[in-house]
Amino acid sequence: MDAQLLETSWQMWAVFAIVLFGIAQYAFEKYSIELVSLGILAVLLLFFQIFVPESLSDTNARTLLSGFSDPALITIMALLVIGQGIFHTGALETPTRVLNSYLDSYPKRTLTMVFVVAFVTSMFMNNTPVVVMFIPVLTAMALQLRGSASRFMMPLSFICILAGMTTLIGSSTNILVAGALERSTDESIAFFDPAWPGLVLAAIGVAFIVLTSKWLLPNRGPAPGTTSRSGRQYIAPIRITASHPLIGAKPVAGLFRDLRMMTVRSIQRGDKKLLPPFETPLQKEDILTVAATRKALTSLLSAYPEYLKGMLETPGFSKGEGTARIVISEAVIAPGSQMIGQTIEEAGFQRQTGCLVLGIQRRSRMMRERMMQIRLEAGDDLLLFGYVPQIEAMRSNHDIMLLDWATQDLPDIRKANIARIIFAAVILMASLGVLPIVHAAFSGAALMIATQCLNIRQAIRALDTKIFMLIGAAFAMGIALEATGGANYVAAQVVGALQGYGPQVLLGGLFLLVAVMTNLLSNNATALLFAPIAIGISNQTGIDPKVLILTVLFAANCSFATPIAYQTNLLVMGPGHYKFIDYVRFGVPLILVIWVSYILMLPFVFDLG
């Protein structure tokens, strides 16, 4: 018996070494997450095959690789597909545009509403696409309010993370720890089980962000030499149709608020040409000639689904198949092209290609004519709008040279309402307990593809390989720790050190340990490593395992102190012009405030026995 314990102890320390080495590799980022995860899996598979006899453990390849088929991972992947469907159809573009329209009249109120909408949305879907959608909104708001984006970007990420700890599907971390509880006990975490303590912690965290951001966040613009240029300017027409959202738009100080990212060079109203500064509202049948970058034109299409819909209904525009993607691309007029010397209309471009020309750019000079009056020259750059099959067909057109790298998907607003309905149905089914979360999420992802809100290629692209491999490896590390007694050993050390001070201090110590690790590793990996340790503490102390698992859940979501702790932190690092130390300065106090708050609220929200 002693020899067996000695052998088991040796294997336990070996697994500890493998896990710690893997964590270090994740933290140093010398190698990709996928490569490190693959290496950890390979080492553990070989270790348990060679050094662990069946008499000591029934852990085999099937067990170690079971994380890749775990319902928690399947749920996360399905929710990523649903989020991609929401993003691809522009289902949240209209609400954000409506909010932005009130910014001039009610700046503080509108800014508050933007964060409220981001918070509520992040409670029910993966917060990464939420942050992606709100970054340009807050960037535009910062410019309009003459402020710095650095005051808004980190709060956006942190508020979305705080929102994620309030429901079962608010964060992938929550789903993973809930799965660990179900595997080890007869208990489970319901959809709104984290809501009450999570909302209290989120409210305290948001209050801290609001009260201290003025002092703890930098007021920083782009670093010298990194300020982005306006980019190449295209001459583009905007026709004000009967249902156009810009009808009645009034100029302010001679400029149109909704077109602030572009220069309106003239307005053709019947036979009359209006030049800046403009004084009259836009009317039906006005034709605006604007100078704008590709990014500004793309943002206009994304922000105004009605405008995009009007373009899709343009007479002569080729209708794509139901699954065809709508894209923007670029093409250059080739030397010797038959289109040289002709206008777009004279060349019959739309009739021959089925695509629309959004704008024309000439490298040698800025043109001042209306786009449809410009006679093409060799080297002119055309900004194109169309379906993928029509864009791809231009490869065989010798008059133009299609630029492969320039193709970019646009939100397919034709499916926006369907995507909203599917998303709402998944939330209702899961929250009301009609279906288990894995069933609701998987069905929702399947419906997103079946209803053509996104195609298979886009769905596969939503399946982040970093998350997939990291979770699979973290599952294997957690299983290895359990099998060799490492999880119980760590649990015993924590219990031995803190049990004498009562369950409140014990849970506080576990919370702080997990919160530190989540900022060095990642929330998902930390949650999977500490979930079995939490179960072990429950077995040794008699504390309700659900309380311990929820402690791991909340602590693992405290990924505020480093940009590598969570992907939304990395997303806002560039737009906010942050440095690593900015996260430490703002994130560490936030973690400490939430930690102390959690310890103080424990007796009021849980029965600690």
In this predicted structure, what is the pLDDT of residue 228? 40
| Residue 133 and residue 92 in contact, taking contact as beta carbons nearer than 8 Å | yes
In-domain check, residue 200: yes
197 to each of 32, 165, 181, 221, 549, how far by Cα in Å? 36, 9, 18, 37, 13
Residues 84 and 211 in one domain: yes
In this predicted structure, what is the pLDDT of residue 521? 67
Closest CA to 416 of 498, 314, 312: 312
Single residue among 457, 472, 487 that ends a domain in this structure: 457
In this predicted structure, what is the pLDDT of residue 41? 93
Both tokens assigned to 419 = 């995507």
In-domain check, residue 9: no
552 to each of 72, 86, 169, 175, 416, how far by Cα in Å? 16, 30, 15, 12, 36
In-domain check, residue 320: no
Residues 350 and 453 in one domain: no
Residues 86 and 200 in one domain: yes
Both tokens assigned to 171 = 């964060």
Residues 98 and 216 in one domain: yes
In this predicted structure, what is the pLDDT of residue 206? 96
Single residue among 457, 482, 513 that ends a domain in this structure: 457
Residues 157 and 278 in one domain: no
Query: Which strands sit side by side in the sheet containing 381-387, from one edge to the other?
Result: 272-274, 263-269, 287-292, 234-239, 356-361, 381-387, 326-333, 400-409
Residues 435 and 373 in one domain: no
Residues 214 and 199 in one domain: yes
Grouping H, G, I as helix, E, B as strand and the rest as coil, residue 421 is helix
Residue 53 CA to residue 188 CA, distance in Å, equals: 33
In this predicted structure, what is the pLDDT of residue 162? 95
Specify which residues 385 forms β-bridges with: 328, 356
Looking at residue 267, which CATH number applies to its domain? Answer: 3.30.70.1450
In-domain check, residue 209: yes
Measure the CA angle with vertex 88, ends 82 and 90; round to 5°: 105
Measure the CA angle with vertex 304, ends 302 and 306; round to 5°: 120
Residues 445 and 370 in one domain: no
Q: Is the pTM of this model over 0.85?
A: no
Residues 183 and 122 in one domain: yes
In-domain check, residue 403: yes
In-domain check, residue 6: no
In terms of residue numbers, what domain contains 245? 234-292
Residues 420 and 401 in one domain: no
Residue 140 CA to residue 84 CA, distance in Å, equals: 23
In-domain check, residue 201: yes
Residue 47 CA to residue 49 CA, distance in Å, equals: 5
Single residue among 410, 436, 467 that ends a domain in this structure: 410
In this predicted structure, what is the pLDDT of residue 223? 47
Residues 168 and 92 in one domain: yes
Q: How many domains, in total, are found in the chain?
A: 3
Residues in the chain, pLDDT under 50:
1-7, 223-230
Residues 333 and 421 in one domain: no
In-domain check, residue 596: no
In this predicted structure, what is the pLDDT of residue 158? 96
